A and B are shown apart, each in its own frame.
Chain A
Amino acid sequence: MTLEEKQKEIVEDFAIYDDWMEKYEYIIELGRDLPIIEEEKKTKDRIIEGCQSQVWLDSSFADGKMHFKADSDAIITKGIIGLLIRVLDDEKPEDIAKCDLHFIQEIGLHEHLSPTRSNGLASMVKKMKMSALKALTTNDSEQKA
């Protein structure tokens, strides 16, 4: 499935909810189902400090593709991280670096990605794209991005 197809799929998943609370119930479920980063990897260098909630991000580059693991201390943030990873994980760095994450807007969660929201998500997307860019400029496919 392409990055674009994955975004479309998420938008369809969300289309069945017309109530905000139902939408959030689904996001909370996503957050609960995703033990997405090992405890020992929640180190200081992986923290993205947000004013409201904390986010940890671990990026790596292998076999020409980017791999992301992330977590947050807030479950709603964690659910949204789950969505971002669903779209960006296992994709080529060039696709990640130039991608437009329009699904966030379409499912009505763009407020969470606004830089003023300070829950760490906007910084996380920026960091994901930056590590993809870094991977693009390095020849060593085994090197951590």
Chain B
Amino acid sequence: MTTASAPAAQQTGRRKSTGALLVHQVRYEQLSFWRNPQSAFFTFAFPVIFFVILGAVFRTGNVYDHISGIEYYTPTITALSVIGCCYSQLAISLSLRRQTGILKRLRATPAPAWLIFGGIVIHCIILSLIDTVLIVIMSRVYGHAFPSNWGAILITLLIAAAAFCAIGVAVASLIKNADAAPAVVQFIFFPLLFISGSYFHIASKVINNIAGVFPIKPFNDALIQTFTLGKGIDGHAILVMAAWGVGGALVAIRRFRWDPRPE
């Protein structure tokens, strides 16, 4: 232990600007994420590898209405990767951080809640965008042309990412025990992926109507429309996702806890 020189009584200095604080927060979120080999592989590399395999097997086959395998899986696996980054990874890491007391430790600093959540959401959006770019590049390698309407794709991705982040925080608010988090998160997520057509096209009208109420199928639809059919924004799909996002945010605001042992 050595001697300190800074006199504690003097409180000089100014608060950082909102932008500088967010950059600071996102930087450390990114560092924590990439250093953890497990999270970097499962949430990040996994969808890309999955796409490479699906693309290799089903590239040229007709899925429906003259849409080829690669045309189908480019949007759905992009959606899968965004959901993985924004919902699964977020819900699991948040409940783990709460259980280990990291959130409480963070709450003990002057960092406001908007900074902590803003940092997480921006971090997840960055991961989603990198995954999307990688999948689009692999899709090009398999012979599918680059999409032309990037504006519509970007808006769809941002709204979906924000909505799935909100749902992720809501689920993390409801999970009591972090050991159960991966199971709970997958339990909600996995059946929905199937009925939403993420892995294969669903022709059944009944199933499509059911899946359409939940946020994953609208996300798939919106990306198929923009990526594959080259059309604009799917307004209906955006509305459904936004509604889920708002619902998730409301649950998160009411129920989110920082303390591993609440009163």
Are A and B interaction partners? no
